[in-house]
Structure 1
Amino acid sequence: MKELASAIKNKDVILFVGSGVPKNLGLPVYSELINQMAENLGFDPAQFNSWGNGDFLIMAEYYYNQKGTLGALRSWMDRLWHHSNIDIGKSEIYKLIIELDFPVIYTTNFDRWLENAYDYYQKAYIKITNVADIARIKKNKTQIIKFHGDFDDDSSLVLTESSFFKRLDFESPLDIKLRSDSLEKSILFIGYSLSDINIRYMLYKLHKQWKESNYEHIRPKSYILLVEPNPIKESILKERGIIPIVSANEEPGTALMNFLKNIKDSI
């Protein structure tokens, strides 16, 4: 923990934020999104779920094929996920993220709560969704990279199976930027579950990049916060150069908050 805290203090850590972080704000879960798709398409939600076996990506693919656009679904998500009754100023987790002052933050979340938190605390940042945004990077502003897209740009959203498969190519400008950033800084992953194949694939690709470089011995250390012990997956993570930090027997939101507090106290 001290080594990680020291790296964060020296601005040598990239933060990677998953869906487990905004979940603490009470955002809807994906099952509600699937039900909304069924309603928009005129299906019974239970029947629609059974046809898609709960596979969100393929169900979103079908929705897109039927509607020709994700516009209405995206608008519904945008409204529900940014409800006016959510007060970002009351979130201790987002406050701690701001206070730890990471120079670069990647997120696979579509929502704007990271940006809203920076606005609330009046901290400068730049949002990066595509290659054009990369050209606007300023050294004195935190970079918030929307790795799976942003509600302000429908074409950037990774919601359908096709967009997910394309994302796994790992060759977009944002992927190239991540590979470059990870060469010089450690990465800290929070709010992720190891059941997410996308994050596991990304860790594999980063590991492969270093292994093929013949300079793996100078690779910056990277970390992931886990809230459920899993010896098998922890072992694979270590093999891929990721240090698991396991916070067992705690509710996930409490575990994350205590973890960030401990880092701040160490700094």
Structure 2
Amino acid sequence: MNELKNAIKNKNVILFIGAGISMNLNIPSWNDLIDHMSEELGYDKEVFNSYGNYLSLAEFYEIKKKNIDSLKSWMNRELHKTSINIKDSKIHKLIVDIDAPLIYTTNYDRWIEHAYEYYGKKYRKISNVGDLVNLRNDETQIIKFHGDLDDDNNSIVLTESSYFERLNFETPLDIKFRADSLGKNILFIGYSLSDVNIRFLFYKLSKLWEDSNINNRPKSYIFLRKPNPIQEAVLKKRGINAIISKKENITEGLEELLEELIYK
């Protein structure tokens, strides 16, 4: 914890933010997204869900609809309802207060960006290679690792094909992440260990460090809801240290952790 506190104080930490943070705002989940697809395609929700995983169902939707434009429009509306007020999210305020130079997120919504705007902090959103030009040291970089709904270049990672392409780990944003991660501590929040994508990312990070032959590797951390000794041992082997919530309510536990890292 002291090493992580010092990394935050010295602006040497990367925040990597997942969907669990957005759920704090009561926005639609993956299940809601799949249910919406089933309705648009005229399927019974339970039957549709039984036909595949989220990625393959999204791929089928794209095949039937020829594109995912209407789905992106629905996501934009539902993820950014006017009834949501970012000031009500303590976690988003704490994320801003960490003042990390780099934030990577796999979330499609814009609530991290809205939090920076609300609290008057400078940031630069990065969703494609064109956004990497003229970066400034006084701006937090918010890297949309799974794409951005505002990006016209179809950067959204939603279907099985786009997910498989993502696993190549060779896009400009991947190359940037590899460079950024070599000298900084990383704190993963809002993720479940059942997320295969994040587990693959841990594996790639581990291989990156092994191949670099650098001995003094900065530690990475993931915040978890509850202990899991088996998964923690696997993570430890890959250089990821688990921080377990001290509260049964994971939102309250994360708030407590971030307050400790920032203010104590």
Is this a same-fold pair by TM over 0.5?
yes
Q: Do the aligned residues in 2 keep the contact of 1:229 with 1:248 (CA within 8 Å)?
A: no
1:91–1:249 CA distance, 2 compared to 1 (3 A) = closer
Aligned to 1:74: 72
Aligned to 1:213: 212
Query: Following superposition, which runs of at least 4 residues in structure 1 exceed 3 angstroms of deviation?
Result: none
TM-score (norm 2): 0.97
Aligned to 2:23: 23
Q: Tell me, in whole angstroms, the C-alpha distance in 2 between the residues paired with 1:136 and 1:85.
A: 35
Aligned to 2:107: 109
Aligned-partner residue type, residue 17 of structure 2: V
Matches within 5 A, 1:163-202: 163-202=162-201
1:175 deviation in Å?
Answer: 0.4
Q: Show structure 2 runs of 5+ residues with no match.
A: none
Percent of paired sites with the same residue:
55
Aligned to 1:238: 236
Of 141, 144, 157, 1:143 maps to: 141
Of 127, 130, 134, 1:129 maps to: 127
Q: Tell me, in whole angstroms, the C-alpha distance in 2 between the residues paired with 1:190 and 1:129.
A: 20
Q: Tell me, in whole angstroms, the C-alpha distance in 1 between the residues paired with 2:233 and 2:160.
A: 29
Q: Tell me, in whole angstroms, the C-alpha distance in 2 between the residues paired with 1:48 and 1:193.
A: 24
Aligned to 2:7: 7
Report the RMSD for the aligned CA atoms in angstroms. 1.0
What SS does structure 2 have at the residue aligned with 1:192? coil
Matched, 1:161 2:160: yes
TM-score (norm 1): 0.96
1:36 deviation in Å?
Answer: 0.7
Aligned-partner residue type, residue 206 of structure 1: L
Q: Tell me, in whole angstroms, the C-alpha distance in 1 between the residues paired with 2:158 and 2:204.
A: 21
1:182 deviation in Å?
Answer: 0.6
What SS does structure 1 have at the residue aligned with 2:138? coil
Q: Tell me, in whole angstroms, the C-alpha distance in 2 between the residues paired with 1:97 and 1:249.
A: 19
Aligned to 2:46: 46
1:109 deviation in Å?
Answer: 0.3
* Bigger Cα displacement from structure 2, 245-254 vs 164-173: 245-254
